[in-house]
Structure 1
Amino acid sequence: MQDGSSGAASLGNSSPDATDCVVCGDKSSGKHYGQFSCEGCKSFFKRSIRRSLSYTCRATKNCAIDVQHRNQCQYCRLTKCIRMGMRKEGRRSNETQTAVSAVQRGRLPVTMPSLFPPNMFLRSPFPFMSVPFNPLMTAQFTKPSIKESIFEFAAQTIFATVNWARTSMSNLVKGDQLILLRHSWTPIFIFALAQSNFALNLSTHLTAVTATAASTENGSSSLGSKSEDEEKSEEKPERVFDEPQFQGFQAKIDKIRDFHLDVVESSSLRAVLLFSCDEEALEEKGKIEEIVEKLKSAVDEYCKMNKRSERYHQICECLQLLKSTRNLPISRLFFSRLLGTTPLETILSDLLITPPPPTLPFFPQLPSRN
């Protein structure tokens, strides 16, 4: 029990240096090609892109890229540059900048009731969770604001998740942090959605966001007159989910809610989701697997402490259910209006690297089940 507590709690003890090179960990000389990088990696990326150079890995395409080994494999170095978000255009597009700014504010540029009541933080009573989480969400929304509310919820959730994850992963190299965040983002978002008031009438909310997502993709939100073909396309917008897919999605949401997880179970399950990743590209794979095992051990101990040994197996079942949602089209459903054509991975990368504004909450409210 002691090992599980100290191992995971240490994750929040230090903050990553925002000026480190995201590729090799050397000291950054500034932001180059969209990310903080050292002069060496900046020059390497610039040379590779401008000359359209092609490299070959002599190993298994999984070479370590750090200060000591960055020159040993050009293929893996360029791959990591791209994976960490370096872009040949160098600067964020206006659309990307707008999306990042909106998410950093924790809301869309519309007037909406806050999902974060002031001074409503709750520290988990269990010691292995060192990052504070908010208590139950009680915010209610009127019917005319349904569509705006769910977009607001999505924007706040993405910001709060990255803010919380950054603190939880502070002892890991930046490359692994980004891989873990990209890998776990969808199930973590669905977990938050399942615990929110939106899950109580999901079909209504999804109808609103699906129509918006389709109209955004079809360009129907643009001003000016529309051609006959455009008007016809608006009559039958493409749906992100068809009926069977929606029924399956709703069933997963309902089953997650049926587990009735308490605050400790929810916060620990979210942490396990964050660190559970089978990507071979992880540099500190052994360390990450050890964190997961300590978290699971602590959850098991918590269940036994409450004399509910069978509860641990139920939590593991919920974990597997959430993992099965990784490939769902969450970005198209909930972020089309916020991000436009900007990939969600780009926003996650930018938010993770950019230091967060102070005094903002760590995670959106958990829902009221009443």
Structure 2
Amino acid sequence: KTLRSLQVTFLFLFFLLKCQLIYLPPYSCEGCKGFFKRTVRKNLSYACREENKCIIDKRQRNRCQYCRYQKCLTMGMKREAVQEERQRTKDRDHNNIEVEPTSSSNTDMPVELILRAENKADAIKTEQQYIEQQHPQHTVGAICQATDKQLIQLVEWAKHIPHFKNLPLGDQVLLLRAGWNELMIAAFSHRSISVKDGIVLATGLTVDRDSAHQAGVEAIFDRVLTELVAKMRDMGMDRTELGCLRTIILFNPGSKGLQSVNEVEVLRDKVYVALEEYCRTTHPEEPGRFAKLLLRLPSLRSIGLKCLEHLFFYKLIGDSPIDTFLMEVLESSSHDVQVAT
């Protein structure tokens, strides 16, 4: 449970940092948060009666509006984020009308955009490398290095899925939190269809059966190969179909604590319709292909639960100090945000 909470924390922090939504630091008071939002939204300007050096703390924060605003900026609050938040709210209100069920589900949930999301998330390729059996300690350490990239790719992918960013931020986090393990497993399973008896991680690293055995995850490794990789390979599952399956996992209306249950359910239904139409168009000779694709979902769910049950990700990050790993993740994301701004 502790490990799962830790992984969820990683994902939550990644999501906020990558989307540039941490513009109101958690240690700032509600009064200053509201003051900053009002200043930006009303485009207010202030002047200091002293020398622009007023002391601003919780007790004297109302002394000078100019210096208070400057301290907000110094502490990391961003004008752009407030403006983007306002625009997202408008877009979401407008989009609530668009996600009502219609007969044109494929235009509301175009498979072309789902494929584009898959390609964007997997754009950075690294040279493939294999783990040698005589160095089992490298298995855990190397996979650990791939974990942060997998999380980054997952969030980047979700951001490009149609309608996802129009959902409330809290629901976006809940959906990712509920499906991150299945989404990752689906991604590396499909990535591995061209490899014999191996799983290819986000960095291009390939884990073979012997390495998995020595790392203590052979049972799960075998299930991934037989129930997912082999099935995907045999049916020739393409990236559009993979993307649709992952989007179905993402839009889970049963996610605990979800506010937009109806909207998410409608979005999932649209993916079902879009995927069925895609199968009918691209594989008219296989009338059962759509159902065959959906049969991979129970396996993904079962394997995902088994990974958590056996603390699979503990095996992945066990050789790396937790604090060090988290610090690397945060520093990497913070750098990305600085570059983007």
TM-score norm. by structure 1 comes to 0.48
Residue aligning to 1:276: 252
1:262 aligned to 2:266? no
SS at 2:165's partner residue?
Answer: coil
CA distance in 2 between counterparts of 1:354 and 1:293 reads 36
CA distance in 1 between counterparts of 2:265 and 2:117 reads 20
Name the CA shift for 1:131/1:182 in 2 (closer, same or farther; >3 Å). Answer: same
Report the Cα offset of residue 270 of structure 1: 1.6
1:294 aligned to 2:238? no
CA distance in 1 between counterparts of 2:248 and 2:303 reads 15
1:151-170 → structure 2 map (5 Å cutoff): 151-168=144-161, 169-170=164-165
Equivalent pair of 1:18/1:355 in contact (CA under 8 Å): no
Name the CA shift for 1:151/1:295 in 2 (closer, same or farther; >3 Å). Answer: same
CA distance in 2 between counterparts of 1:167 and 1:338 reads 31
Name the CA shift for 1:356/1:304 in 2 (closer, same or farther; >3 Å). Answer: farther
Name the CA shift for 1:347/1:187 in 2 (closer, same or farther; >3 Å). Answer: farther
Equivalent pair of 1:150/1:205 in contact (CA under 8 Å): no
Q: Any stretches of 5+ residues in structure 2 without a counterpart? A: 1-17, 35-109, 200-205
Name the CA shift for 1:142/1:330 in 2 (closer, same or farther; >3 Å). Answer: closer
Of 149, 166, 178, which aligns to 1:183? 178
CA distance in 1 between counterparts of 2:263 and 2:293 reads 23
The residue type equivalent to 1:131 in the other structure is: A
Map Cα deviations across residues 189-239 of structure 1 (whole Å, 9 max, x no partner).
Answer: 21223233542864323245x3xxxxxxxxxxxxxxxxxxxxxxxxxxxx5
When the two chains are superposed, the root-mean-square deviation of aligned CA atoms in Å is: 4.2
Equivalent pair of 1:275/1:291 in contact (CA under 8 Å): yes
Residue aligning to 2:25: 31
CA distance in 1 between counterparts of 2:25 and 2:304 reads 31
1:9-158 → structure 2 map (5 Å cutoff): 18-19=20-21, 30-33=24-27, 39=30, 126-129=111-114, 130-133=116-119, 134=122, 139-144=127-132, 147=139, 148-158=141-151
Instruction: Report how many aligned residue pairs link the two structures.
Output: 218
Query: Between the two proteins, what is the percent identity of the paired residues?
Result: 21
Of 202, 212, 217, which aligns to 1:206? 212
Report the Cα offset of residue 42 of structure 1: 8.3
SS at 1:259's partner residue?
Answer: helix
SS at 1:279's partner residue?
Answer: coil
Report the Cα offset of residue 358 of structure 1: 9.0
Name the CA shift for 1:332/1:297 in 2 (closer, same or farther; >3 Å). Answer: same
CA distance in 2 between counterparts of 1:142 and 1:167 reads 31
Name the CA shift for 1:165/1:343 in 2 (closer, same or farther; >3 Å). Answer: farther
CA distance in 2 between counterparts of 1:342 and 1:42 reads 31
Name the CA shift for 1:290/1:347 in 2 (closer, same or farther; >3 Å). Answer: farther
Determine which structure has greater relative contact order: mean sequence separation of CA pairs < 8 Å that are 6+ residues apart, divided by chain length. Answer: 1
Equivalent pair of 2:252/2:268 in contact (CA under 8 Å): yes
Name the CA shift for 1:296/1:186 in 2 (closer, same or farther; >3 Å). Answer: same
Report the Cα offset of residue 40 of structure 1: 6.3
Rg larger in structure: 2
CA distance in 2 between counterparts of 1:38 and 1:18 reads 20
SS at 1:264's partner residue?
Answer: helix
Q: Give the helix-richer structure, 1 or 2.
A: 2
Q: Any stretches of 5+ residues in structure 1 without a counterpart? A: 1-15, 21-27, 44-124, 211-238, 361-370
